[in-house]
Amino acid sequence: MSRGHGHGHGHGHDVPTDRSGMRALWISLVVLGVTAVVQGAVVVMSGSVALLSDTLHNVADALTAVPVGIAFLLGRRPATSRFTYGYGRAEDLAGVVVVAVIAASAVFAVVESTRRLAAPGQVDHLLVVAAAAVVGAVGNEIAAQVRIRTGRRIGSAALVADGLHARTDAITSLAVLLSAGGAALGWRWADPVVGLAIAAAIAVVTWSAARQVLGRLMDAVDPDLVARARGVLANLPGVAAVDSVRLRWIGHTLRAEVDLAVPAELTLRQAHDVAHAAERLLRHDVPRLTAATVHTHPAGAH
């Protein structure tokens, strides 16, 4: 006769983690907001389309903090009879919004740069444009460091995508220096060409961020995490075989579903103890894993 046992355990939402994420968003939002204001004033003075592209991207980058912040707040809400896993997946939806905003800014940059390439204009106040480019690079790198480090620490794909977005902005801000240099040499086409190059760079980071965010929506996890979970369970006393391990992200925390074979002579109480030990071990050894459902069955049973 087959015998089965399931054991599940989970924690409430990780409030300190959410606070870290919100703090990272606020810091980067202020930094990028100041950067965009400074650059916007220089765009009005100079008429540089390359700097305009960079400024628009910085504005978009600052605004993407809004959906990610809303997702963090939603994630704190407890599970309900309708949303039985809670609201952590709001983070994945926020990641989709981030990717869409990045893509839209790239399209706008292409349109404006193409228009200026067809009818090149004069770029004035070149030293101020160069200084604004440096301000943009520094501001974006600060935002990128804050978002990426925090996102990786708390397991937030949306926050990491937002940080990668900011890092690309830092690089493209430096590209504006090239447009200023070209304009100084009398190359009126340099400014729109750099604008197009910035749009191409934005497209590259859009693809990278989209792969990560859409992967989360499809329940993709790092195979090394699965291998780590299997290794931990295989060495647990009382486990005859690890039949299956499934991991999925819910926001920035992991959940596990595990099927273990145990010796057929174990009592129900002993099988329960094995399941409980497995769940406790997983939460201790697998980063960001906060809940696990463990099923045990006699070895050889189908």
Report for 49-53, 107-111, 145-149, 188-192: range of highest mean pLDDT: 145-149
What stretches of the chain show up as alpha helix (H) in DSSP? 15-46, 49-63, 65-75, 90-118, 126-154, 157-184, 190-217, 223-234, 268-285
Q: Is residue 166 part of a domain?
A: yes
Contact 160, 151 (CB under 8 A): yes
Dist. CA 227–CA 294, nearest whole Å: 17
| Amino acid type, 160 | V
Q: How far apart are CA 170 and CA 54, in angstroms?
A: 9
At 262 the pLDDT is 95
Q: Which domain holds residue 178?
A: 15-217
Q: Is residue 229 part of a domain?
A: yes
Residue 122 lies in a domain: yes
pLDDT band at 17 (very low <50, low <70, confident <90, very high): low
| Cβ-proximal residues to 1 (8 Å cutoff; 6+ apart), any chain | none
When pLDDT is averaged across residues 40-53 and rounded to a whole number, the result is 77
Residue 60: how many CB atoms within 10 A of its CB? Answer: 23
Give yes or no for a contact between 38 and 129, defined as CB atoms under 8 angstroms apart: no
Per-residue b/e over 227-264, b at no fewer than 16 CB within 10 Å?
A: ebbeebbeebebbbebeebebbbbbbbbbbbbbbbbee
Percentage of the chain exceeding pLDDT 70: 87
The helix (run of H) or strand (run of E) holding residue 12 is none
**Does residue 8 lie in a domain region?**
no
What would the pLDDT profile of 200-245 be if each residue is shown by its tens digit? 877 887 887 788 888 888 888 989 999 999 999 999 999 999 999 9
Lowest mean pLDDT among 17-21, 24-28, 195-199: 17-21
Structure token pair of residue 77 = 């809400």
Q: What is the pLDDT of residue 244?
A: 95
Q: What is the pLDDT of residues 176-191, one digit of tens each?
A: 767 777 767 777 677 6
Beta bridge partners of 7: 294
User: Is 65 in the same domain as 155?
Assistant: yes
Mean pLDDT of the chain: 81
Higher pLDDT pick, 72 / 230: 230
Confirm whether 183 is domain-assigned: yes
Query: What is the pLDDT averaged over residues 42-63?
Result: 75
The type of residue at 119 is A
265 or 59, which is more confident? 265
CATH of the domain at 252: 3.30.70.1350
**pLDDT at residue 273, rounded to an integer:** 94
50 CB neighbour count, 10 Å cutoff: 35
Q: Which of 5-19, 92-106, 134-148, 216-230 has the highest mean pLDDT?
A: 216-230
- The residue type found at 228 is R
Task: Compute the distance between CA of residue 243 and CA of residue 299 in angstroms, rounded to an integer.
Answer: 10
- Count of domains for the chain: 2
Q: End of a domain among 193, 217, 241? A: 217
pLDDT of residue 3: 43
* Segment 90-105, tens digit of pLDDT: 888 888 888 888 788 7
Is residue 115 domain-shared with residue 138, that is, in the same domain? yes
Give yes or no for residue 116 having a pLDDT over 90. no
Closest CA to 235 of 289, 182, 285, 185: 285
Beta strands 241-250 and 253-262: pairing type?
antiparallel
Same domain, 208 and 288: no
Give the amino acid at 103.
A
CATH of the domain at 77: 1.20.1510.10
180 shares its domain with 252: no
Mark which of 169, 184, 217 sits at the end of a domain.
217
End-to-end CA distance of the chain: 10
Percent of the chain with pLDDT over 90: 23
The domain boundary, picked from 197, 217, 237, lies at 217
Question: Angle between the 15-46 and 49-63 helix axes, to the nearest 10 degrees?
Answer: 160
User: Are 55 and 202 within one domain?
Assistant: yes
Among left, alpha and beta (phi > 0; psi -120 to 50; other), residue 120 is beta
